[in-house]
Amino acid sequence: MRAEYDRQLRELEEELFDMGSMCQQAVAFSGAVLIGDDETLREQVCSLEMEIDKKDRQIENICTGLLLRQTPVAGDLRFVSAALKIVSDMERIGDQAADIAELSRYISEKPLLEKVHISDICCVVMNMVTDSVEALVKKDEILARKVIGDDDIADELFVRIKEELVSLIQENRTEPQEILDLLMAAKYFERVGDHAVNIAEWVEFIVTGMHDDRECGH
């Protein structure tokens, strides 16, 4: 019974880290697709997103199994219930990456991308995802707090991109459609950052037993 319990907990950890790596990849690829418009890479984001969805259900089953058939002790219970929330955030990261890859079809004017800070926001949130997964693996509260702090950078970049897009509209030389698509892409990246923050907050909860209440609208 105890051996089976330990095995299931280890499996949960491993699957969770796998799912995290897939999310990192999906976000990195979606950024690359946006800039390079590579059809093969776009399909890879789509397959990754489906793999991530599968992992989501798989991990949920492990969690329910652990909760139902085993009786996790306090610390493990925190880990299992946090895992259930973390997979939801990871699943959303996969969705956003797929949305970005899909949008990239409509942004044909690639020099446009250099006029706004889109690759910067992509880099920042990619690192946030990587760090949140590493914080989870190592149960590293300090790294988790770094992720939470980095969200301000992502938010500021989104505001900056929006201002840059306003200027582009005023210049009147860019297809309006592409400007609106680029705003959506930036928003998706910003949302990826929000989900990395959620994961980091769950890591804090796993380590400390405390979960931050967030302000209105976040």
Residues that bind a copy of itself in the complex, under the rule CB under 8 A: 46-47, 49-50, 53, 57, 60, 64, 67-68, 71-72, 77, 81, 84-85, 88, 95, 98-99, 101-102, 162, 165-166, 169-170, 172, 176-177, 179-180, 183-184, 187, 211, 213-214, 216-218
**Considering the complex, what minimum distance in angstroms separates the CB of residue 68 from a copy of itself?**
6
**Considering the complex, what minimum distance in angstroms separates the CB of residue 49 from a copy of itself?**
5
Tokens of 16: 């969770």
**Considering the complex, what minimum distance in angstroms separates the CB of residue 182 from a copy of itself?**
10
d(CA 202, CA 83): 8
**Considering the complex, what minimum distance in angstroms separates the CB of residue 85 from a copy of itself?**
7
d(CA 23, CA 17): 10
The nearer residue to a copy of itself, 113 or 168, going by C-beta atoms, is 168
Chain Cα centroid distance, residue 202: 14
The nearer residue to a copy of itself, 53 or 120, going by C-beta atoms, is 53
* Exposed / middle / buried, residue 45 (Cβ in 10 Å: 0-12, 13-18, 19+): buried
Give, rounded to a whole angstrom, the gap between the first and last alpha carbons of the chain.
41
For residues 211 and 205, the answer to whether their CB atoms sit within 8 Å is: yes
The single-letter DSSP state of residue 44 is H
The nearer residue to a copy of itself, 19 or 143, going by C-beta atoms, is 19
**Considering the complex, what minimum distance in angstroms separates the CB of residue 45 from a copy of itself?**
9
Tokens of 87: 């997979």
The single-letter DSSP state of residue 106 is G
d(CA 97, CA 55): 16
The nearer residue to a copy of itself, 129 or 179, going by C-beta atoms, is 179
The nearer residue to a copy of itself, 146 or 174, going by C-beta atoms, is 174
